[in-house]
Structure formats: structure tokens, C-alpha cells
């Protein structure tokens, strides 16, 4: 999937920025796909700083548009039975408190963006507060993500394979341990 994205951006020429933003918006709307491959593509095609800027704009636009769509969709869906803890917390917030909670959740790299956006759509938070908090919160997260990706891109290919294999083994061990504890 990542290679296809890189090829699309390379072939898009002047439209590469718009293509990247469009794909970022789609990923945000879907809500469960990680955007790390978009960030990697942006860094590869546009360089570290420009790629980071394109990623920040894409994340901001994606959050903005998905929030609007989620909120419109929720008006048609009975959501009283949904009990995810992040959504329950966000449902109760508005204004200044919502701003800080959304900002902090966006900074955390392992909190799913779709859950934050959905929880915010359930809440009384305004579109403006959500968009500003969400975008500002993604900046530190994207800087960390871009730094890790850029550093990874500089490593000798054989070490990349070692890192990937070790990461997969650790992930599988974690999943097995998590399953056995229930």
C-alpha cells in the first residue's frame, strides 16, 4: 500500500500536494487506518520540512471534514448505547475543557484519531474548537512521527529488515500475552 502511495505521488507532479491531502482526508474519514504511510510518502516526495507541513495540513483538513461528516451521520444514528471510554469522556465536554482534552489526546501518538473525532462529534464541542485543538495537538505528534520515519529512511536496508522483524516479534509476543491474560 505504501509503495502504491509513493508511486501515485511521484506521478502526480504538481498535483502531488492535492493528492496527498485528498488521501489524508479519506484516511481520516475512514477513521481506522493509520496515516503513517501518508507521512512517509510526504517526507519521501517533498522532503522533511515540506513533507511535515503537508502532513499537518492534511491531518487538519481530514479532522475538520470527518468531524462534519461524523456529526451529520450521528444525527441519524441512535448512539446512546456506545460505551467507548474516550467517547464517554468527550461527550461530557464543551468549550475550554473540550479544547484541552482534544489537544492532549491528539498529542498522544497511540490514541486512534477516529475515536477522538467520533467522540468529539458526539460532544457539544464546536467545529472551530475541535479543528484548532485537533490540528495543534497533531503537530507534536507528527513531528515525532516524521522524525522517526525520516531516521528510519536513513538506515541501511539490512538494518531496516532487522528492525521490522524484531518489531513484529515483539508485537506478536505482546498480543499473545494480552490474550492469555484474559
- State the Cα–Cα distance between residues 83 and 88, nearest whole angstrom: 6
> How does pLDDT run along the chain (182 residues), one tens digit per residue?
556 766 777 777 778 899 899 999 999 999 888 888 888 889 988 888 999 999 999 999 999 999 999 988 876 665 555 666 766 776 777 788 889 988 998 988 667 788 888 888 888 889 999 999 999 999 998 998 898 888 888 888 888 888 888 888 988 888 787 777 65
- Domain count within the chain: 1
58 and 26 Cβ atoms separated by less than 8 Å: no
Domain range enclosing 170: 2-180
Amino acid at each position: 500500500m505504501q509503495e502504491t502511495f509513493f508511486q501515485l505521488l511521484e506521478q502526480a507532479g504538481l498535483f502531488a500536494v492535492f493528492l496527498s491531502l485528498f488521501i489524508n482526508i479519506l484516511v481520516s474519514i475512514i477513521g481506522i487506518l493509520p496515516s503513517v504511510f501518508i507521512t512517509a510518502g510526504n517526507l519521501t516526495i517533498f522532503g522533511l520540512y515540506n513533507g511535515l507541513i503537508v502532513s499537518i495540513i492534511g491531518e487538519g483538513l481530514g479532522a475538520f471534514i470527518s468531524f462534519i461528516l461524523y456529526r451529520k451521520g450521528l444525527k441519524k444514528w441512535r448512539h446512546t448505547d456506545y460505551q467507548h471510554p474516550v467517547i464517554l469522556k468527550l461527550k461530557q465536554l464543551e468549550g475550554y475543557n473540550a479544547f484541552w482534552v482534544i489537544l492532549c489526546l491528539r498529542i498522544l501518538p497511540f490514541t486512534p484519531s477516529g475515536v477522538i473525532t467520533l467522540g468529539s462529534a458526539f460532544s457539544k464541542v464546536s467545529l472551530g474548537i475541535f479543528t484548532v485543538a485537533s490540528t495543534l495537538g497533531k503537530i507534536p505528534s507528527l513531528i515525532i512521527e516524521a522524525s522517526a520515519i525520516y531516521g528510519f529512511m536513513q538506515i541501511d536496508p539490512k538494518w531496516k529488515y532487522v528492525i521490522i522483524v524484531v518489531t513484529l516479534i515483539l508485537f506478536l509476543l505482546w498480543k499473545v500475552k494480552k490474550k492469555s491474560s484474559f
